[in-house]
Amino acid sequence: MKANYYYFAKRAQKRCSFPLILISIFALVLFLKLISSLFFTTFSNNSDTNPLGDALRKSYPFPELPRFAYLISGSKGDSGKLKRLLQAVYHPRNSYLLHLDLEASDDERLELAKFVKSEAVIREFRSVMVVGKANLVTLKGPTTISSLLHGVAILLKQAPNWDWFINLSASDYPLMPQDDILHIFSFLPRDLNFLEHTSDLGWKEFQRARPIIIDSGLYHVKKSGVFWAKEKRSIPASFKLFTGSTGVVLTRSFLEFCIWGWDNLPRTLLLYYTNFLSSHEGYFHTLLCNHKDYQNTTVNHDLHYVRWDEPRKENPTNLTIEHFDDMVQSGAVFGHRFGHDSRILDKIDKEILRRSAGLFVPGGWCLGNPGSGKDPCIIYGNPDVIKPSERAKRLEALVMKLLDSENFRSKQCK
Ligand SMILES: *[C@@H]1O[C@H](CO)[C@@H](O)[C@H](O)[C@H]1NC(C)=O
Ligand SMILES: *[C@@H]1O[C@H](CO)[C@@H](O)[C@H](O)[C@H]1NC(C)=O
Ligand SMILES: *[C@@H]1O[C@H](CO)[C@@H](O)[C@H](O)[C@H]1NC(C)=O
């Protein structure tokens, strides 16, 4: 433990310059202790078959900062929101893929691509891509999954070395700066998959698992929704169904497994879910929980803050100013979902992200002064230098709770 402590203290000096971190060192040592014991109990027994785990163990006392690969998707009229969201989650260590679906016009897509090109920082780090050949995406059809897997495949091919994949839509927004997320995730084993999941289907058995749907988006050029077959089908016997959140934070190794499909399960499930309503609420969940190599890697939380109306409606509540305090307390990384009212986003920008309109969120890589009124990231330095804020402690608390020995194993794939 001594080495870890020393390392953390050294890193803290480099990374942050506020006194709070001194107060929190004790808490973080506990955190490290928890992570290390968790890590060794999780992976020591199967480390021979887990190259990622091995690599991590070797680098263990000196955790490196991770990299994230973001897929940010929107539809017609969303390009403004996508630009703002990109600026709010941008960090030069990460990679980003923007997708405006086929409902958006070519002009809108082109305008988004021009915006990306016009940003000097993005040009320099070459870390943002825009999908040129857009997909038709039907809201509750399997085309959402195929579009997402398309994005993952592009990111695997074009964006090197990322550790986690994060899926965001135009109605999401971050609740903390990237520096905080990079900081906390640097202490985590690289094979944890975050998504809310359960095998208790409840009403979804009759609304989702039994009906058979067809997504006409698979073979039409215009969006026209899904239609239902008269027949119903039975609950699968060769695998167990899981359902959960649409938001996901998934590891690179799991997504390589999905895309390459060296085991047939990813392919079988993809075909099965082709006729499943809202298949994006279940595909990854069922896949992870039915494969022995991955079921021990799930964390039953998607790191999003989501509110539902009572009784539960089809879509989550639009988040507004009145949810602000609760949202910040939660330690969640993103909020889902935000409607047209942008006052809440302005408040998040001002009070949490310290982001000025039209600019990136300042982080350790920005050398300018955020208070000066000028863009602090015009002059930039080493992207490996991060300055976590106080918010990082909330995420730390959330992650500690999720990985607590009482919580972690007992909530996996149940
Ligand atoms: C991606 O995430 C957003 C919420 O973060 C969700 O609304 C959307 O349906 C997700 N897409 C897929 C294919 O999971
Ligand atoms: C997953 O965890 C369970 C319970 O802790 C254990 O019995 C099993 O061997 C683990 N599976 C793998 C592949 O490590
Ligand atoms: C929530 O926001 C969406 C826009 O993103 C809007 O279409 C919808 O009507 C809003 N819902 C409510 C209940 O205000």
Distances (CA, A) of 268 to 182, 265, 312: 35, 5, 32
Q: How far is the CA of 319 from the centre of ligand 3 (A)?
A: 10
Does the C-beta of 46 come closer than 6 Å to ligand 2? yes
Confidence check: pLDDT of 397 > 80: yes
Please work out whether the CB of residue 320 comes within 6 Å of at least one atom of ligand 3: no
Is 11's pLDDT higher than 80? no
Question: Where does the pLDDT of residue 254 fall: very low under 50, low under 70, confident under 90, or very high at 90 and above?
Answer: very high
User: Closest residue (by CA) to atom 10 of ligand 1?
Assistant: 246
- CA-based end-to-end distance of the chain: 33
C-alpha–C-alpha distance, residues 279 and 304, integer Å: 19
Local structure of 230: helix, strand or coil = strand
138 lines ligand 1 (CB under 6 A): no
Q: For residue 22, is pLDDT > 70?
A: no
**CA distance linking residue 395 with residue 190, whole number of Å:** 17
The residues spanned by each domain of the chain are 68-199+244-408
Share above pLDDT 70 across residues of the chain, in percent, rounded to a whole number: 85
What percentage of the chain exceeds 90 in pLDDT?
A: 73
Residue 211 phi/psi, 5-degree rounding, is -65, 155
Condensed to tens digits (0 to 9), the pLDDT of residues 40-88 reads: 333 333 333 333 344 444 444 448 999 999 999 999 999 999 999 999 9
The answer to whether 100 and 108 have CB atoms below 8 angstroms apart is: yes
Averaging pLDDT over each range in 223-232, 237-246, 369-378, which range is the top one? 237-246
CA dist 142 and 275 (Å) reads: 7
Averaged confidence pLDDT in the chain? 86
The pLDDT value recorded for residue 209 is 93
210 CA to centre of own chain? 29
Q: What is the pLDDT of residue 13?
A: 35
Task: Write the pLDDT tens digit of every residue in 301-345.
Answer: 999 999 999 888 888 999 999 999 999 999 999 999 999 888 999
Residue nearest to atom 3 of ligand 3 (CA): 339
pLDDT at 51: 37
Query: Which band of pLDDT confidence, cut at 50, 70 and 90, is reported for residue 405?
Result: confident
Considering every ligand atom, which ligand is closest to the CA of 339?
3
Fold of 68-199+244-408: Spore Coat Polysaccharide Biosynthesis Protein SpsA; Chain A (3.90.550)
Q: Give the per-residue pLDDT at 401.
A: 95
For residue 174 and ligand 1, the question of a CB distance below 6 A is answered with no
pLDDT of 12 over the 50 cut:
no
At 96 the pLDDT is: 98
Amino acid at 378: I
Could you tell me if 299 and 204 are in contact, meaning their C-beta atoms sit under 8 angstroms apart? no
* Predicted local confidence at residue 314, as pLDDT: 84
Q: Look up the pTM and report it.
A: 0.86
Protein residue closest via CA to atom 8 of ligand 1: 246
The whole-number average pLDDT for the span 4-33 is: 39
The ligand 2 atom at the shortest distance from the C-alpha of residue 46 is: 14
Higher pLDDT, 402 or 374: 402
Rounded CA-CA distance 393/41 in Å is 25
pLDDT in tens, 276-301: 999 999 999 999 999 999 999 999 99
b/e burial code for range 256-278 (CB count within 10 A of at least 16 → b)? ebbeeeeeebbebbbebbbbbbb
Does residue 104 have a pLDDT over 90?
yes
User: Comparing 313 with 372, which gets the higher pLDDT?
Assistant: 313
Q: Who contacts 263 (Cβ-Cβ below 8 Å, separation ≥6)?
A: 257, 291
Weakest mean pLDDT among 19-23, 107-111, 154-158, 307-311? 19-23
Amino acid at residue number 52: L
Q: What pLDDT score was predicted for residue 40?
A: 36
- Which of 352, 345, 353 lies closest to 172, judged by CA? 345
- How many whole angstroms separate alpha carbon 353 and alpha carbon 340? 20
- Would the pLDDT of 6 be above 50? no
Q: What average pLDDT does range 180-205 have in this prediction?
A: 95
Could you tell me the distance, in angstroms and rounded to a whole number, from the CA of residue 411 to the centre of ligand 2?
Answer: 14
One-letter amino acid at 277 equals L
